[in-house]
Amino acid sequence: MTSGSTTRSAVASVGVSDRNASTVDTSTIVLGIETSCDETAAAVVMGGTDVLSSVVASQLDEHARFGGVVPEIASRAHLETLPQVVAEALERANIDVSRVDAVAATVGPGLVGALLVGVSAAKATALALDVPFVGVNHLEAHLYAALLDEPNARFPMLFVLVSGGHTLLVEMTGHDSYRVIGQTIDDAAGEAFDKVARFLGLSYPGGPAIDKAATRGKDTAIALPRAMLNDGLDVSFSGLKTAVINHVRANPHVSSDDVAASFQRAVVDVLVHKARRAASLIGANTIALGGGVAANSLLRSEMTKAGESDGIPVVLPSREMCTDNAAMIASAGWYRLRRGEVMGLDAGADPNLKLGAGQR
Ligand code: KG4
Ligand code: ZN
């Protein structure tokens, strides 16, 4: 771990900026900071979509032996790593910190201690640079990760957010206009991947491990349930996880690769089925995927195929933009800044922040 000296000197070397934040355009540069869970990230994005740098320091090794994220370890690691990550993001972007027009940070949802590290650092930097501080909803930012490569994707949009903590089907009719139309009633998709992987003795985090094992397995090997398939837009993955556990206990010599492939197929079948139904209900012109599970190979290919056959373009973020990063925070921050949605320096973090909740 590194000390905070690098960033302190970078910030201290800068005078007060006289840049006018009311003119937000393609040259406006936002420094983004993300610390909501176990990735310490900073990025510099110009004009909302031009990623000048994106640095992610993962704490995976620190949490792996516990099989999940330990909040106290996460906060401490953010504190130790963030200054260096911010300095590196500025260096890679090859800009002087005085070019930064606003600082955006995730204000929720997430682990409260972890969030506060990023929010405090962002507010201090904004104060030192005399630029606005923009609070960003982490869930909204996952959507902007999809829009980085497709900023002109057409509304109404169905946003399928599948991450470690959330599984949401969201109708988006414009920037900052969200309506949750479906969600998990129990486990999030990523949580189900992580729990099944852990049960199979695969590495942490489970999603990528299952994705890899599934390529060696047969996805029809085990009959697994597709819960609530024809029942509204909500989903449920807890019964699927239990079915996997029961099957493996009853068949201890079953191939883990077959289990991984069959499980992954069941999750993807449900997500694609529900996304198609939701897209048709809202008359979607675009389906956008976001969140860590959007990195899943089968989900990406099946959702793309479904979009092709339904005549709806499917927007997929690059794999590195699916999992937590700060480019998506800076991008979402730019759109908020453009609408004049800046926050005071008394703003705090909200670990339970909902999508579409007023942040102003
Ligand atoms: O969005 P994210 O980085 O963090 C949250 O905001 O939750 O998502 C992390 C989740 C984890 O559950 C991880 O297992 C899952 O995304 N994940 C995947 C894949 N890559 C990451 N799940 C399935 N297939 C993948 N390739
Ligand atoms: Zn996330």
Q: Which domains does the chain have, with CATH numbers?
A: 8-148+321-338 (3.30.420.40), 157-316 (3.30.420.40)
Q: Mutate which of 163, 241, 318, 352 to test ligand 1's pocket (most atoms within 8 Å of Cβ)?
A: 163
The per-residue pLDDT for range 281-315, each reduced to its tens digit, is 999 999 999 999 999 999 999 999 999 999 999 99
Tokens 């370890």 belong to residue? 73
Residue 135 near ligand 1, beta carbon < 6 Å: no
Q: Which tokens in the block code for residue 228?
A: 């609530």
Lowest mean pLDDT across 70-84, 103-117, 135-149, 202-216: 70-84
Q: Is the pLDDT of residue 22 over 80?
A: no
Residue 83 near ligand 1, beta carbon < 6 Å: no
Task: Round to whole Å and give the CA distance between 229 and 232.
Answer: 8
Q: Which atom of ligand 1 is nearest to the CA of 297?
A: 26
The per-residue pLDDT for range 247-268, each reduced to its tens digit, is 999 999 999 999 999 999 999 9
Q: Is the pLDDT of residue 71 over 70?
A: yes
Tokens 């730019």 belong to residue? 334
pLDDT the model gives residue 17:
36
Q: Is the pLDDT of residue 104 over 70?
A: yes
The model's pTM is 0.90
359 CA from centroid of ligand 1 (Å): 26
Tell me which amino acid residue 30 is.
Answer: V
344 CA from centroid of ligand 2 (Å): 24
Is the CA virtual torsion 251, 253, 258, 264 positive or negative?
A: positive
Phi, psi of 250 (to 5 degrees): -80, -20
Phi, psi of 93 (to 5 degrees): -75, -15
Task: Round to whole Å and give the CA distance between 179 and 157.
Answer: 11
pLDDT the model gives residue 9:
26
Q: Which tokens in the block code for residue 243?
A: 């079915």
Give the ligand whose atoms come closest to the C-alpha of residue 317.
1
What percentage of the chain has pLDDT greater than the value 70?
Answer: 92
